[in-house]
Amino acid sequence: MKLVPSLLATLVLSGSISLSAAAATKPITVLVDQQKLNLTTAAPIQEGNSVLIPMRPIFEKLGMKLVWDAKSNTITATKEGLSIKLQTGSKKATINGTVKQLASAPKTIDKVTYVPLRFVSEATGNSVEWKAASRTVAITSKENTVDVKGISALFDKYVTYSNTENYDGFMSLIDPESPLAGIGPGIKEQYEIFDAKTTVLQMEIIDSKGNEATVHTVETSEKVSGPFMLDSQAEYVYSLTRKAGGSAWQISGIQIAALQYILPADVLESKVTVPKTDEDQIKAVVQANVDYSNKEDLDGALSTIDETSPAYEQSKELYMQMFKAYDLAITLDSSKIIDYTGDTAAVYTVQTSKKVKGPEFQDSRAVSVNILKKTADGKWKLTQTYILTTTALNQ
């Protein structure tokens, strides 16, 4: 979604999910046949090289019946001739009576009993893979009927073709009968302008039936070279299709579930040389947009936006709705030009918005990057705004 200026983007995006640029300790995710294990009561924990998980969700997901003996603190899980016994505090377990040594003993924390995930998975005949980068445990069962291998292969190609800018390869991953078939020109333009690195941190198959599948991913995009561009981390939900009798999956639809733009740490510290005339005009446009918004002057606010921008009409509609519903006090706390190329500029801004009157509204402070372009007649205009963070102000 491309919106201008930052106030409008704040209004639209203030309710969306935000992803931290880099979480210090990301929670551990458990996938069983690429479907996320529902762990609503307690999260997995890491103990040395072992991952411990609440016992009931994992045993039940693997189709086993569970019996807990409180007197002996013993866990017994059974399924079709298979019997597994573990005891809290003990590094010894049995599989059909055969004693096995555990790397970590089961334990009870806050009334939740945890068991070593790798042992439980492998004891039930499943394969286990630990993905350190995304802190994900992927379990694949022998009985799995979902085409995990084929879907994984699609996203492997997606990453490879994106990072090598293989246009034909990338377009071969798109279902030619879907609305996405028309994205070719946009992809080609991006390849010509930018060199970026795409990484799929996590992939989860939400649903798969026959020749249709729904997949959730967490992805990052990092600029390698080219003009100014923000890095980003996003969550997508893909719709996949496969031709009858075929084996190759293709992408037929994409939805953005969450999006967070990331400003590289050194950008704010770098010095950007801007001619004084352009610097004054750029900052004046950003300030004028705020001033016109405070005056609820629709024509004035629109005069600061490039009328050729795809977001112009959308911005006009949003301004009209905002001015009709609210009386807001907007303050441009600070602005700094962080990129300049002669006819384009990126401005880092901090802006507060407070309600004077109108329906419910969360006063907030938004940190944004605003893109401006110089028009043919030499005027600077806003074209796009990226929200980095939105923080609620104390009432």
pLDDT of residue 139: 86
pLDDT of residue 279: 96
pLDDT of residue 20: 33
Its CATH architecture, for the domain 35-140, is 2-Layer Sandwich (3.30)
* Cα–Cα dist 237/175, whole Å: 16
CATH topology of domain 148-262: Nuclear Transport Factor 2; Chain: A, (3.10.450)
pLDDT of residue 134: 79
Residue 354, sorted as left (phi over 0), alpha (psi -120 to 50) or beta, turns out to be beta
Q: Per-residue pLDDT tens for 286-336?
A: 999 999 999 999 999 999 999 988 778 888 988 999 999 999 999 999 999
Q: What is the mean pLDDT of residues 341-347?
A: 95
Q: What is the CATH number that goes with domain 6-16+267-392?
A: 3.10.450.50
Under 8 Å between Cβ of 10 and 19: no
* Cα–Cα dist 269/292, whole Å: 30
pLDDT of residue 380: 97
User: Structure tokens of 126?
Assistant: 């499943």
pLDDT of residue 1: 38
* Cα–Cα dist 370/347, whole Å: 5
All CATH 3.10.450.50 domain ranges of the chain, comma separated, are 6-16+267-392, 148-262
Q: Which residues contact 395 (CB under 8 A, 6 or more apart)?
A: 363
pLDDT of residue 143: 64
Q: Per-residue pLDDT tens for 163-189?
A: 999 999 999 999 999 988 998 998 998
Under 8 Å between Cβ of 163 and 198: yes
All CATH 3.30.457.10 domain ranges of the chain, comma separated, are 35-140
Q: Per-residue pLDDT tens for 188-215?
A: 988 998 899 999 999 988 888 888 899 9
Provide the pLDDT confidence category of residue 84 given band limits of 50, 70 and 90: very high
Average pLDDT over all residues of the chain? 87
**Residue burial 14-41, b: 16+ Cβ < 10 Å; e: rest:** eeeeebebeeeeeebbbbbbbbebebee
